[in-house]
Amino acid sequence: MVRYRGPRLKIIKRFGDLPGLTRKVVLKKQNKYGKETNDQNLSKASAYKIRLNEKQKLRYNYGVTELQLLRYVKEARRRKGLTGFLLMQLLEMRLDNIIFRLGLAPTIPAARQLVNHGHVLINKKRVNIPSFQCRPNDSISFSTKPKTITLIKSNLNQGDNSTSKDNISTSHLEFDPKSLTGEIKNLIQRKDLKFKINDMLVIEYYSRLS
């Protein structure tokens, strides 16, 4: 399955707030008594549908394909620890997500484009693979081209004025806005995850298929 490139508003109407996909927020519908309603709750969802929806939210937020997500699940199962959290850790430590978390791009797709165009350096080496797995002590810097510097500074200023700034977790990251350099201090921990999702339902979804 290819990466989703359709209308983003349609996706967040269906699954709710996905900070990695878009900054747009859809106002929830209200009934005649002024209480919020959720179209997904109007019909009783099966256990399979609930797991499927959690998996889809994960896919759309991080912008990964079905095949990529399956590979991450298999890798998480091979490692010691809670499989659900290890899956989230693998997704969070992707280079495109790190760029987003630092506020250097408004969304993960925008961060992916920044990486694809060769603007990002890891340990002073150009990396143009968005799925690159960052590790503790990795340093992040950028091309010295004027267009790149202007773009990064513009994104930083937008992030400072954005209402979505709370979605950016930087406790495991360090960034110097003056030199435009960053560092991965350690692997992200459970308490630092800002994207709320039941990761175990995703693992259960793939367990049924294996």
158-169 pLDDT tens trace: 766 554 455 455
Per residue in 9-57, pLDDT tens? 788 888 888 888 877 666 555 444 444 445 445 457 789 999 999 999 9
Structure tokens belonging to residue 206: 């793939």
Which pLDDT tens digits describe the chain residue by residue (210 residues)? 566 777 777 888 888 888 888 776 665 554 444 444 454 454 577 899 999 999 999 999 999 999 999 999 999 999 999 999 999 999 999 999 999 999 999 999 999 999 999 999 999 999 999 999 999 999 999 999 999 999 999 988 876 655 445 545 568 999 999 999 999 999 999 888 888 899 999 999 998 765
The secondary structure element, H or E, covering residue 170 is: none
Whether 116 and 47 share a structural domain: no
- CA 7/CA 91 separation, integer angstroms: 23
The boundaries of the domain holding residue 110 are: 94-187
Q: 73 with 126, same domain? A: no
What proportion of the chain, given as a percentage, has pLDDT over 70? 81
- Asked if residue 66 and residue 14 are part of one domain, the reply reads yes
**CB neighbour burial string for 30-45, b if at least 16 within 10 angstroms, e if fewer:** eeeeeeeeeeeeeeee
How crowded is the C-beta side of 81, counted as CA atoms within 13 Å?
A: 13
Q: What is the CATH number of the domain that holds 135?
A: 3.10.290.10
Residue 3 lies in a domain: no
Q: Return all residues near 41 (Cβ < 8 A) that are at least 6 apart.
A: none
Domain count across the chain: 2
Tally the residues of the chain: 210
